Chain A
Amino acid sequence: MSAHALTTSFVAKFSGRLGFLGLTLIYALLVAACLGTLAREDELSLGRNPVANLVKTVGEFAHPSFLDVWFGNPKLEYKSDDGTVLRVENRQEVEADYLAGLGRATWTTIRIATLGSLLGALLALPLAVLTARNLAAPKPLAWLAKGILDVARSIHTLVFGLVLVGIVGLGPTAGILAIGLHSMGTYGKLFAEAIESLDMAAIDAVRSVGATPDQVFFNAIWPSVLPQFVSSHLYVWEFNIRDSTILGLIGAGGLGLLITEATSLFQWGRLSTVLIVIVLMVSAFDTVSRRIRQALS
């Protein structure tokens, strides 16, 4: 038996386990390399007094700013070093104003997510029809559509947003377009899968009673794909509500702007308020959309 044959049989017998072992080893080496190089560059430190900082930050987070609307000092005095009162501030009023601004920003975020999702869904629909394999669209068109969807899906919303802010300027329009372009990729994939899972036999059955193409569409295709379309739409919409909160970071308006503001001024109490609003909004939407999806299935 030649050495070559020996190796082949050996590989055939052990390649599965050895291969996995090899991959594990490579992974371990990679982790070690990451840790080792960072340690050598002295970048693994946790700062000078992490515990105290942690306690301080957590303490400020634990006192969200909206509590001041009721419990804030109505006559907070700002004094100069020699004790003269510079300014008297009503904390309750200030925080009430902040909450009102937060409400407007939340509404902006919801508007960006809603319109962006709708835009993405509308753009994706024709592309999904072209990419669905069972509809057998002409090959070049199918490839083109798939290419557009893949590109849209692989570019992050934030990147789209940065580019679009440069084109259409600051504001919600850039956010809507960014959300729409990125989620078009996601919608396209989900819609195409819904179309591909169509029951062709049922479509043939409706055709076999002599139904016209429009009747086949409304009586066989539409009822079958609609629930899946709605379900995908709710899912991506919910995802976009989360995603659009971050778009304010690049000046597209909404909650992200307040996050940037709070973090750059180290106002952890206000950041805490904003995060609470985001969590409430996302979980409320999640509850509603889950109900709707259950009712549709």
Chain B
Amino acid sequence: MNEISISLQKVCCIADGRALLDVGALTIRHGERIAIVGHNGAGKSTLLRLLTGFMPAAHGKVEVLGRNLADNPSAHELRTLRRNVGQIHQGLHLVARLSALENVLIGSLGRVVGWRSWVRHFPTAEIARAEAALHAVGLLARAKTRADKLSGGERQKVAIARLLVQQPKLILADEPTAALDPAAAGEVCHLLAQAARQAARHAALITVVHNPSLLPLLADRVIGLKNGRIAFDLPLAAVDDQKLTNLYRPDEAAPAAPWQLPESTRCSVFS
């Protein structure tokens, strides 16, 4: 239960000659629930992308689920890692033209290989698992509905069901409630926390949060990021309004560089 899930040491991420993230040491154990807070461009999303190998570390030691990501992991190694990491993003990351059930089944692609996964002919055991996941998020009745016909809240719930099917050992959520009304946001947070509890080995849950009122639902420990550095790392009870206000206030001493968007995520099929 207290095994180490993530361990970072002297990690630095650089893009366009600017340090996006500069973390001295950070250890996260299985079963921990962590919220990451900070201003826009503080490095929150960079941290999550670092943990799944979508962003390389310039130097330092990055260990996720026992895999060292620092020394150029192969595409195969990264895929094996990503199969064990459930992710939810702020956008609506579903394949619009597939049904809710098919989107959930995408979570099982790590276990289904070859032509079966090409024509989406999934084994009955996986379909049963996906239906159970949809039932858990309360959307079994909408299983046959296409993703682009679902509401924003329903789509996030489908994404959570996809994550449940993945049976992850680590869950990363990047502003999962960004486009949702308060009721739906609360529900999504509740489901996420539940997903983390039910995961095979008590997965750690790391969530990027902007709304402080959602912190108690999602976290026992809060990490504040400012200009790419860890400003505080405290248990939830020790975080008060003053600390959050300080975190979001711009630094007078070292004015933050104007935020640049990271390299566009063009996926080249040729390189």
Contact = CB atoms under 8 A, between A and B. Distances in A.
B162 to A, nearest CB: 7
B101 to A, nearest CB: 13
Given A208-B82, A215-B117, A135 B269 contact: yes
Interface residues of B, number: 39
A197 to B, nearest CB: 11
Contacts of A231: none
Interface residues of A, number: 28
Contact of A200 (B54, B97, B106, B265): B265
Nearest to B172: A208
Interface stretch (A43-51, A53-61, A218-226): A218-226
B98 interface: yes
B118 A218 contact: yes
B212 interface: no
B135 interface: no
Contacts of B267: 134-136, 200, 203-204, 207
B80 A201 contact: no
A210 B80 contact: yes
B270 interface: yes
Interface in A136-157: 136-138
Contact of B266 (A134, A206, A208): A134
B120 to A, nearest CB: 7
Contacts of A227: 97
B27 to A, nearest CB: 24
Contacts of A137: 268, 270
A206 B106 contact: yes
B81 A136 contact: no
Q: Which residue, of A134, A200, A210, A212, has the highest number of chain B Cβ atoms within 10 A?
A: A210
Nearest to A138: B270
Contacts of B106: 205-206, 209, 211, 219
B64 to A, nearest CB: 13
A209 B107 contact: yes
Contacts of A138: 270
Given A202-B96, A204-B93, A227-B97, A211 B269 contact: no
Interface in B102-148: 106-107, 109-110, 113, 117-120
A206 B268 contact: no
Q: From DSSP, what is the main secondary structure of chain B's interface residues?
A: loop
Contact of B117 (A199, A219, A223): A219
B81 A210 contact: yes
A136 B266 contact: yes
B109 A219 contact: yes
Nearest to A199: B96
Contact of A205 (B94, B119, B268): B94
Contact of A224 (B78, B97, B166): B97
B89 A135 contact: no
A135 B268 contact: yes
A99 B271 CA distance: 58
A215 B118 contact: yes
Nearest to A218: B118
Contacts of B81: 210
Nearest to B78: A210
B179 interface: no
Nearest to A223: B97
A202 B106 CA distance: 11
A135 B265 CA distance: 11
A239 to B, nearest CB: 25
A42 interface: no
A214 interface: yes
Contacts of B265: 200, 204
A218 B122 CA distance: 13
B109 A201 contact: no
Contacts of B89: 201, 204-205
B83 interface: yes
Contacts of A218: 117-120
Contacts of B98: 219, 223
A202 B94 contact: yes
B178 interface: no
A135 B270 contact: yes
Nearest to A129: B269
B83 A202 contact: no
Contacts of A136: 266-268, 270-271
A134 to B, nearest CB: 6
Contacts of A220: 95
A219 B93 contact: no
B87 interface: yes
B87 A211 contact: no
Contact of A202 (B87, B93, B110): B93
Given A202-B95, A209-B166, A223-B95, 4 more contacts: A134-B267, A202-B96, A209-B82, A209-B162
Interface of B: 52, 54, 78-85, 87, 89, 91-98, 106-107, 109-110, 113, 117-120, 159, 162, 166, 265-271
3 smallest A-B Cβ distances: which pairs?
Answer: A205-B93, A210-B83, A210-B82
12 contacts: A200-B266, A201-B92, A204-B93, A204-B267, A208-B82, A210-B80, A211-B110, A218-B120, A219-B106, A219-B117, A223-B98, A224-B95
